[in-house]
Each structure stands twice: as C-alpha cells, then as structure tokens.
Amino acid sequence: MNSKANSMENPSPKEIQDLILPFQYPLDHVGIRLNRPEQDPELNFFSVIKDRKSIRNLKPLKEKQLDYLFWFAARVYQASVANDYILSHRASPSAGGIHPIDILVHRPENSFFEYYSPFEHHLYKVQLEQEIIQSLLCHIDLAFPNRDTPLLWFLAHGKRTKAFYQNFESLVWRDAGALLQTFQLTCTALGMGSCAVGTLGEPFISSLFGEDIVSAGGIIIGNI
Ligand SMILES: Cc1cc2nc3c(=O)[nH]c(=O)nc-3n(C[C@H](O)[C@H](O)[C@H](O)COP(=O)(O)O)c2cc1C
C-alpha cells in the first residue's frame, strides 16, 4: 500500500535554522496607536464557545471595538529571542511560536489597507497599488456585497516557519485555522459578529505582495 498517497510529510524541527530577512512592507512611518481596554471583560467561557457562529449581515463597528479585538486576539503577550528570531506568545497558538501570519485590515471608510503591528498594538497604512486594491475589494464584494464593516486579511509568510521546520507547509495552514478561530471567539466575547471569507483573494494578493507571501483568507467583523 502506498501510504504517502494524499498525505503530507511530518514536520520536524531543523537542527540549524535558515537565516531569512524580515519582510519589509511599504508602510507609512507613523502608525496609529490603538486603544487598550481598561479591564478585561468578565465572561463565561462556555457561553462564548456556545454562542460563536458565523454572522454575515453585520453592522458598522463603534469607536474602539476594532482596537479591543486586536488587543485580545492578536497582540503579543510575551516575546523571547531564539537564534536571532523573535518568538512570541499570543492568544492564538502557532507552531514554534513563530507566528508566520501577518494581519492587514481594510476599514470600510478607507481606500487602503493597514498593517497590524502585534508588538506595538499599532496600525500602519500600507502603500500599495491602488488599482489592485480596488480590484481586490470588488472581488470581496461579490461574496459580501455592501460591506460597511472591517475586513481582516491574513498573509502567511511560509518562509518563517520553513526556517525552523522541515515539511513546514501544513503547520502554516494549521496556524491560519487557529488564528481564525481566535478572532471568531474573541468577536463573540466582545459582543461582535464575524464571518470567515473563503476566497484567497487571488490573483490580487499575489500581485500586491509577490511570491514570498501566501494569502490565508480573511474574516469580516462587525456588530450584530
Ligand atoms: C475557512 C472558512 C471559510 C469560510 N468562508 C465563507 C465564505 O466565504 N462565505 C460565508 O458566507 N461563510 C464562510 N464561512 C463560514 C461557514 O459557512 C460557517 O462556518 C458554516 O456555515 C458553519 O456555521 P457556523 O460558523 O455558524 O457554525 C467560512 C468558514 C471557514 C472556516
């Protein structure tokens, strides 16, 4: 029997990590400092997992809601350095603590995307080709027409996980699923709704970022 048919190889840590350069997004130099909640909401965890569901017709967010969502779902809680790489602990698990997935956000009032910096809890405007952005947004509109709520987009940097693991590919996709669930549960906990976006946004994401980045889909978020 060919046990390898339809299966992927097991990931395993490399003894010596590859050296890779950090990806440089074309960012504005000055970012927006996002708000931080004064206290954590008091909630019953089991109500949150029971109430999580995909909600498609969402209402616009109120001030600070996006900030709080990022604060709980995506910021870095703890960081450490291993062989020149920064590993971190966040709400979502990630193979090796590498967190290869970056998050962009499109707010409906803007014609551009912003990059979420999980270390600073800041947003930075990304300078991208406007025509491709518009085509990407029209493409998303086909699945979520008349969206007037934010869209988060996940960009997977497989090279980061590849630097640490042989057969890294499945790890990145498992990280993407974990991140999606972290955002959905956090939305529920904050009284917000969300829905995953199944399209990968291709060929637009590849045109914007080149072949080092793989689109890992998106999620729309808003009020219920
Ligand atoms: C990876 C993924 C992609 C999805 N893509 C879409 C989508 O493009 N449009 C949509 O309306 N729902 C999408 N969904 C939501 C699913 O349809 C939804 O999770 C499913 O119907 C189960 O409903 P529930 O999440 O409320 O339990 C997606 C869900 C996942 C996990």
In a domain, 167, yes or no: yes
Q: What dihedral do alpha carbons 103, 189, 196, 161 form, nearest 10°?
A: 40
Q: What domain count does the chain have?
A: 1
Could you list the pLDDT tens digit for every one of the 224 residues in the chain? 555 666 889 999 999 999 998 999 999 999 999 999 999 999 999 999 999 999 999 999 999 999 999 999 999 999 999 877 899 999 999 999 999 999 999 999 999 999 999 999 999 999 999 999 999 999 999 999 999 999 999 999 999 999 999 999 999 999 999 999 999 999 999 999 999 999 999 999 999 999 999 999 999 999 99
CATH value at residue 198 = 3.40.109.10
Give the tokens for residue 194. 């969300």
The pLDDT, as a whole number, for residue 7 is 82
Q: Per DSSP, what are the bridge partners of residue 220? A: 151, 195
Give the tokens for residue 215. 């689109």
d(CA 116, CA 70): 8
Cβ of residue 53 lying under 6 Å from some atom of ligand 1: yes
In a domain, 137, yes or no: yes
The pLDDT, as a whole number, for residue 118 is 98
In a domain, 155, yes or no: yes
* pTM score: 0.95
Domain span including residue 148:
55-223
In a domain, 208, yes or no: yes
The pLDDT, as a whole number, for residue 3 is 55
In a domain, 26, yes or no: no
The pLDDT, as a whole number, for residue 128 is 97
Q: Which of 48, 51, 54, 179 to mutate to test the pocket of ligand 1 (most atoms within 8 A of CB)?
A: 54
Give whole-number Cα distances, 66 to 37, 70, 181, in Å. 11, 6, 16
Q: Residue 142: what residue type?
A: L
Cβ of residue 36 lying under 6 Å from some atom of ligand 1: no
In a domain, 13, yes or no: no
Cβ of residue 54 lying under 6 Å from some atom of ligand 1: yes
Atom of ligand 1 nearest to the CA of 180: 31
Q: What are phi and psi of 120, to 5 degrees?
A: -100, -20
Give the tokens for residue 16. 């010596």
In a domain, 105, yes or no: yes
Cβ of residue 57 lying under 6 Å from some atom of ligand 1: no
Q: Which of 152, 175, 195 to mutate to test the pocket of ligand 1 (most atoms within 8 A of CB)?
A: 195
In a domain, 71, yes or no: yes
